[in-house]
Structure 1
Amino acid sequence: MQNIKDSPRTKVELILAASGLSDKDVFSKSDPICVVFQQAETNKYQSERRFVEIGRTERIKNCLNPKWNKKILMNYFFESKQPLRFELYDIDSGSQELSDHDFLGRAECELSEIVAAQSGRLTIPLRYSGRQCGSLIITAEELNEGQKESVYFVCHGRSLDKKDLFGKSDPFLEFYRIAEDGSRQMVHRTEVLKKTLNPEFAPFEITVRHLSGGDKDKEFLITCYDYDEDGSHDLIGSATTSVNALTIKRQNNLPLINEKKQLKKGSKYKDSGALHFLKVEVHKEFTFLDFITSGLQLEFAVAIDFTSSNGPVHSMNSLHYINSYAPNQYEMATQSVMEICEKYNRTKYFEATGFGAKIPPHFQVSHLFPLNLENFDRFTYGVEGVMAAYRIALQNTQLFGPTNFAPTINEFANKAKQFPLDGSRYQILLIITDGIITDMEKTKSAIISASDLPISIIIIGVGSENFQKMDELDCDSGLLSQNGRSAKRDIVQFVPIRNFLKSEMLAKEVLAEVPEQVASYMKSRRIAPLPPGSQPAPLEMGQPLGGVPTMQPMTARNPVAKPYDPSNTPTNVYPNLQNMPQSARYSSQESSQYAPYPTHNMPQSARYPSQSVPQSSPYQGHSVPQSAPYPGQNTHQAPYSSHDVHQSTPYPNPSYSNMQPPSLDKLNLGPSGPPYPT
Structure 2
Amino acid sequence: MSNIYESAATTLGLFNSPCLTKVELRVACKGISDRDALSKPDPCVVLKMQSHGQWFEVDRTEVIRSSISPVFSKVFTVDYYFEEVQRLRFELHDISSNHNGLKEADFQEQASHPQLTHTANVCSFVITPAMTSLKSQVTAEELSGNDDYVELAFSAKKLDDKDFFSKSDPFLEIFRVNDDGTASLVHRTETIMNNLSPVWKSFKVSLNTLCSGHHERELKCTVWDWDSNGKHDFIGEFQTTFKEMKAAMDGKQWECINPKYQVKKKNYRNSGMVILTLCKIIKMHSFLDYIMGGCQIQFTVAIDFTASNGDPRNSCSLHYIHPYQPNEYLKALIAVGEICQDYDSDKMFPAFGFGAQIPPDFKVSHDFAVNFDEDNPECAGIQGVVEAYQNCLPKIQLYGPTNIAPIIQKVADSASEEMHTKEAMEYFILLILTDGVITDMADTREAIVHASHLPMSVIIVGIGSADFSDMQMLDGDDGILRSPKGEPVLRDIVQFVPFRNFKHVSKKQHLLSSCKVQFFFHFGLK
Does structure 2 retain, via aligned residues, the 8 Å contact 1:114–1:140?
no
Does structure 2 retain, via aligned residues, the 8 Å contact 1:112–1:344?
no
Q: Aligned pairs, how many?
A: 496
Q: Could you tell me which of 494, 497, 512 is aligned with 1:495?
A: 497
C-alpha distance 186-387 of structure 1, shift in aligned 2 (>3 A): farther
Q: Who is 2:462 aligned against?
A: 461
C-alpha distance 491-374 of structure 1, shift in aligned 2 (>3 A): closer
Q: Give the alignment of 1:178-327 within 5 angstroms.
A: 178-186=177-185, 205-216=204-215, 218=217, 220=219, 235=232, 243=242, 248-251=248-251, 280-327=279-326
C-alpha distance 160-64 of structure 1, shift in aligned 2 (>3 A): same
Q: Who is 1:33 aligned against?
A: 44
Q: Who is 1:137 aligned against?
A: 137
Q: Distance in 2 between matches of 1:160 and 1:331?
A: 70
Q: Distance in 2 between matches of 1:484 and 1:233?
A: 44
SS at the partner of 2:395? coil
Q: Who is 1:601 aligned against?
A: none
Shift of 1:83: 1.9
String of CA shifts for 1:36-71, please: whole Å, max 9, x gaps. 2222214xxxxxxx3222222112222222111112
Q: Give the alignment of 1:285-434 within 5 angstroms.
A: 285-374=284-373, 377-419=376-418, 420=421, 422=423, 424-434=425-435
Q: Distance in 1 between matches of 2:431 and 2:170?
A: 46
SS at the partner of 1:211? helix
Shift of 1:376: 5.2
**In proportion to residue count, which structure has more strand?**
2
Shift of 1:173: 8.6
Question: 1:14 and 2:14 equivalent?
Answer: no
> Structure 1 length normalisation: TM-score?
0.62
Question: 1:443 and 2:440 equivalent?
Answer: no
Q: Who is 2:475 aligned against?
A: 474
Q: Could you tell me which of 112, 118, 121 is aligned with 2:124?
A: 121
Shift of 1:349: 0.4
Does structure 2 retain, via aligned residues, the 8 Å contact 1:458–1:494?
yes
Q: Who is 1:58 aligned against?
A: 62
String of CA shifts for 1:486-509, please: whole Å, max 9, x gaps. 44444332222111237x665433
C-alpha distance 374-94 of structure 1, shift in aligned 2 (>3 A): closer
C-alpha distance 361-260 of structure 1, shift in aligned 2 (>3 A): farther
String of CA shifts for 1:574-607, please: whole Å, max 9, x gaps. xxxxxxxxxxxxxxxxxxxxxxxxxxxxxxxxxx
C-alpha distance 171-339 of structure 1, shift in aligned 2 (>3 A): farther
Q: Distance in 1 between matches of 2:465 and 2:156?
A: 56
Q: Distance in 1 between matches of 2:171 and 2:413?
A: 42
Does structure 1 retain, via aligned residues, the 8 Å contact 2:174–2:219?
yes
Q: Distance in 2 between matches of 1:449 and 1:469?
A: 20
String of CA shifts for 1:507-543, please: whole Å, max 9, x gaps. 4332223333333333332xxxxxxxxxxxxxxxxxx
Does structure 2 retain, via aligned residues, the 8 Å contact 1:479–1:488?
no
SS at the partner of 2:383? helix
Q: Distance in 1 between matches of 2:479 and 2:203?
A: 18
C-alpha distance 183-436 of structure 1, shift in aligned 2 (>3 A): farther
Q: Could you tell me which of 34, 44, 52 is aligned with 1:23?
A: 34
Which stretch of the first structure deviates more once superposed, 286-295 or 415-424? 415-424
Does structure 1 retain, via aligned residues, the 8 Å contact 2:334–2:382?
yes
String of CA shifts for 1:351-406, please: whole Å, max 9, x gaps. 11122333333333323221112555311111121012112333333333333333
C-alpha distance 61-257 of structure 1, shift in aligned 2 (>3 A): closer
Does structure 2 retain, via aligned residues, the 8 Å contact 1:212–1:218?
yes
1:143 counterpart letter in structure 2? L
Q: Who is 1:641 aligned against?
A: none
1:352 counterpart letter in structure 2? A
Q: Who is 2:163 aligned against?
A: none
C-alpha distance 446-153 of structure 1, shift in aligned 2 (>3 A): farther
Shift of 1:227: 11
SS at the partner of 1:418? helix
Greater relative CO, 1 or 2 (CA 8 Å, sep 6+): 2
String of CA shifts for 1:181-215, please: whole Å, max 9, x gaps. 3323345688x99x988999997532111221124
Does structure 2 retain, via aligned residues, the 8 Å contact 1:13–1:71?
yes
Question: 1:76 and 2:76 equivalent?
Answer: no
Does structure 1 retain, via aligned residues, the 8 Å contact 2:251–2:277?
no
Q: Distance in 2 between matches of 1:350 and 1:104?
A: 37
Does structure 2 retain, via aligned residues, the 8 Å contact 1:308–1:399?
yes
For the pair shown, the structure with the greater C-alpha radius of gyration is 1
Q: Give the alignment of 1:524-673 within 5 angstroms.
A: 524-525=525-526
SS at the partner of 1:512? helix
Q: Distance in 2 between matches of 1:469 and 1:212?
A: 45
Unpaired segments of 5 or more residues in structure 1? 43-49, 162-168, 526-678
C-alpha distance 171-388 of structure 1, shift in aligned 2 (>3 A): farther
Q: Distance in 2 between matches of 1:501 and 1:392?
A: 28
Q: Who is 1:91 aligned against?
A: 95
2:447 counterpart letter in structure 1? A
Shift of 1:481: 5.3
Q: Distance in 2 between matches of 1:170 and 1:105?
A: 69
Shift of 1:267: 11
Q: Distance in 1 between matches of 2:112 and 2:175?
A: 37
Q: Distance in 2 between matches of 1:466 and 1:423?
A: 39
Q: Distance in 1 between matches of 2:258 and 2:396?
A: 75
Question: 1:67 and 2:68 equivalent?
Answer: no
Does structure 1 retain, via aligned residues, the 8 Å contact 2:249–2:278?
no
SS at the partner of 1:395? helix
String of CA shifts for 1:448-475, please: whole Å, max 9, x gaps. 4333432222221222223334333334
String of CA shifts for 1:405-438, please: whole Å, max 9, x gaps. 3332232223223334546422222112222233
String of CA shifts for 1:59-115, please: whole Å, max 9, x gaps. 2222222111112222222222222222222221682x223x6x1343232132553
2:57 counterpart letter in structure 1? E
Does structure 2 retain, via aligned residues, the 8 Å contact 1:404–1:439?
yes
Does structure 2 retain, via aligned residues, the 8 Å contact 1:291–1:423?
no
Q: Distance in 1 between matches of 2:237 and 2:382?
A: 58
C-alpha distance 155-393 of structure 1, shift in aligned 2 (>3 A): farther
SS at the partner of 2:475? coil
